[in-house]
Amino acid sequence: MTLDLSIIREQFPALNRPVIFLDNPGGTQIARQSLERITGYLVESNANHGGSFGTSRDSDAVIDAAREAAADFLNAARPEEVVLGPNMTTLTFRISRALAPTFNPGETLVVTRLDHDANVSPWVRMAEDRGMRVRWVDFDPETGTLDMIDMRRAIEEKPRLVAMGYASNALGTVNPVGKIVAMAKEAGALTYIDAVQYAPHGPIDVQRLGCDFLVCSAYKFFGPHVGALYGRYDLLDSLRAYRVRPAPADPPGKFETGTNNFEGIAGLLGAIEYLEWLGKTFGGELVDLYNGDYGPRTGRKATLKAAMSAIRSYETEISRAMLSALQSIRGLRLYGPSEQDGVDGRVPTFSFTVDGYSAQELACHLDARGINTWDGNFYAINVTERLGLEAPNQGLLRAGAVHYNTLDEVAALASALEDLSK
């Protein structure tokens, strides 16, 4: 299904500015529907939780609706499997703290060198506290792909938990998470997936994956700065949460410590409503497919899957254009999957260096031409260390597209980089 970019870009007020947003891996621009939900919440239902008065009831209704929408977005079995919080990092630390007492000294957990540190440090710190062993899985620095032989060997060591990323926020690699989850389950390990980088680019189905936990952040898929964690209900129910005594004793409330960012959660609802609009507008044939032969998704779940499938299809074209443009620049070295016939194995997040320039110099050069990009390690410090690009080599330059970016913007990036060699 072809996306009409002129209609889609109208849904993002920030895109009216003369700026090319290729900083999306660090956070996308916000959809109009999300902005309207935030404003509507603050004007019409701004109150704390659980009050015996109208605005509090209205506030609780918005939060319930957002949780249900997030459950549909992830294809969770029930809304109570979705924990809402500030961001992926904070939610991961909360779950690692709750899981810690269930692990014993000498046991093993698995992390990868391809992950954002938010899916590494919480587990490493927990292992230090519990006297556990951390088993690191490497990636191929030439291809940017996870070493699946090493992963298999790590899982054969019978770890208690395997933490992995759905897609690399540094190199754009999409990992075979379904395969890893299946191997981990066979070995009796819990699985924890960081889906922050993947969430704006393709459909997520926690039931099909069979994972125990999966976490993402709305500001990476066209909403505000809030996070959403899926956890299998029986696990969430069995874990002891660190909470104040009057807080709910059942999931998900027992993990939502303190007063949540209710207006942000309303914005999460709006972001998913935007995706639902996109699915209805551009994914009609796919909705019929998902309601029929494809599987159990119906209603909003089918519409959201259609939206994300349409996005994934369009972004394949963007990825091919980005690859071709970057590979034409003299002195540019691209890291991560770089074959045109392998774009299905990546999201349109591209990191590179250019001979003679630091990553920060590249970012400033592009900024002067109205193009936003990121430089550094993007908290994927194990990636830049493995590539030999941590200080003093000053990291990578990262340019990442989403479905509101155009082929003309890709061409503008290429032109700006070509200026460096003139």
Residues 6+ apart with CB under 8 A from 350: 172, 322, 323, 326, 334, 336, 398, 399, 400
Confidence check: pLDDT of 294 > 50:
no
Using the 3D structure, point to which of 274, 291, 321 is the last residue of a domain.
274
CATH no. for residue 376? 3.90.1150.10
Which two tokens mark 126? Answer: 């927990």
Question: What's the distance, CA 178 to chain centroid?
Answer: 16
Looking at residue 341, what is its pLDDT?
Answer: 77
Residues 46 and 126 in one domain: yes
Residues 269 and 173 in one domain: yes
The helix (H) or strand (E) run that includes residue 251 is none
Q: In this structure, is residue 284 part of a structural domain?
A: no
Looking at residue 244, what is its pLDDT?
Answer: 87
CA angle 35, 119, 262 (to 5 degrees): 25
Q: In this structure, is residue 354 part of a structural domain?
A: yes
Q: In this structure, is residue 406 part of a structural domain?
A: yes
The band of 285, judged by pLDDT with boundaries at 50, 70 and 90, is: low
Q: In this structure, is residue 100 part of a structural domain?
A: yes
Q: How many domains in the chain?
A: 2
Residues 190 and 166 in one domain: yes
Stretch among 215-224, 232-241, 261-270, 384-393 having the lowest mean pLDDT: 384-393
The band of 291, judged by pLDDT with boundaries at 50, 70 and 90, is: very low
Residues 10 and 98 in one domain: no
Average pLDDT over residues 228-253: 93
Residues 38 and 24 in one domain: no
Residues 237 and 202 in one domain: yes
The band of 344, judged by pLDDT with boundaries at 50, 70 and 90, is: confident
The band of 286, judged by pLDDT with boundaries at 50, 70 and 90, is: low
Looking at residue 1, what is its pLDDT?
Answer: 57
Residues 95 and 85 in one domain: yes
Residues 266 and 338 in one domain: no
CB 328 within 8 A of CB 352: no
The band of 292, judged by pLDDT with boundaries at 50, 70 and 90, is: very low
Confidence check: pLDDT of 293 > 50:
no
For residue 351, give its domain range.
Answer: 5-31+308-421
Looking at residue 284, what is its pLDDT?
Answer: 64
CATH no. for residue 233? 3.40.640.10
Residues 328 and 201 in one domain: no
Residues 65 and 15 in one domain: no
The band of 266, judged by pLDDT with boundaries at 50, 70 and 90, is: very high
pLDDT tens, position by position, 133-169 = 999 999 999 999 999 999 999 999 999 999 999 999 9
Using the 3D structure, point to which of 228, 248, 274 is the last residue of a domain.
274
One-letter amino acid at 149 equals I
Q: In this structure, is residue 293 part of a structural domain?
A: no
Report the C-alpha gap between 205 and 102 in whole angstroms: 27
CB 28 within 8 A of CB 381: no
Average pLDDT over residues 266-290: 84
Longest dimension (CA), the chain: 68
Q: What percent of the chain has pLDDT over 90?
A: 90
Q: What percent of the chain has pLDDT over 70?
A: 96
Report the C-alpha gap between 13 and 87 in whole angstroms: 24
Which two tokens mark 174? Answer: 């999409």
Stretch among 95-104, 108-117, 246-255 having the lowest mean pLDDT: 246-255
The band of 342, judged by pLDDT with boundaries at 50, 70 and 90, is: confident
Residues 181 and 42 in one domain: yes
Q: In this structure, is residue 282 part of a structural domain?
A: no
DSSP state, residue 295:
-
Residues 269 and 354 in one domain: no
Confidence check: pLDDT of 288 > 90:
no
Using the 3D structure, point to which of 257, 274, 291 is the last residue of a domain.
274
Question: What's the distance, CA 355 to chain centroid?
Answer: 30
Looking at residue 220, what is its pLDDT?
Answer: 98
Q: In this structure, is residue 302 part of a structural domain?
A: no
Q: pTM of the full predicted structure?
A: 0.95
pLDDT tens, position by position, 385-419 = 999 998 777 899 999 999 999 999 999 999 999 99
Q: In this structure, is residue 295 part of a structural domain?
A: no
Looking at residue 290, what is its pLDDT?
Answer: 44
